[in-house]
Amino acid sequence: MKSTLKLLVIVLFLVATTAAQLIKTSLNVTVRDETGNTVEGATVMLFENEEDYTNEANVAAQGVTDAKGYVKIKELKSIPYFIIVRKDDKDNAGGGEKTEKLEAKKINKVTVVIQ
């Protein structure tokens, strides 16, 4: 019985350790319009610094929202990102252009409103 319990503890430890190593720093972005509806097909671009953001150069990561207005961007650094979201003539200029510092090895979340 003791050996079974020890084995179970070891297996649980290994599973927990492996799961922690598998989670990469990521950002889940939900895009909404000014009325609160989610926006499908919006382009989300992340920049590591303000100069790249201003010049729209050196995009660190990008994605396009799905039918639910959602995109997951994986394997990011644990830093704040400048963010541009666009769809047609709408964007997030004037608010919500920078994320908080992303928590390492966590799934971070942000909602961006475009108008």
| pLDDT, tens digit (0-9, with 9 covering 90-100), for 5-29 | 454 456 555 555 444 557 899 999 9
**What is the residue extent of each domain of the chain?**
25-114
Sheet holding 61-64, edge to edge: 61-64, 43-47, 82-87, 90-91
Q: What is the pTM of this model?
A: 0.80
| pLDDT, tens digit (0-9, with 9 covering 90-100), for 53-100 | 999 999 999 999 999 999 999 999 999 999 999 999 999 998 779 999
Cα–Cα distance between 83 and 59 in angstroms, integer? Answer: 10
The pLDDT of residue 94: 81
25-114 belongs to which CATH class? mainly beta
- Checking phi first, is residue 20 left (phi over 0); if not, alpha (psi -120 to 50) or beta? alpha
* Both tokens assigned to 67: 């039918």
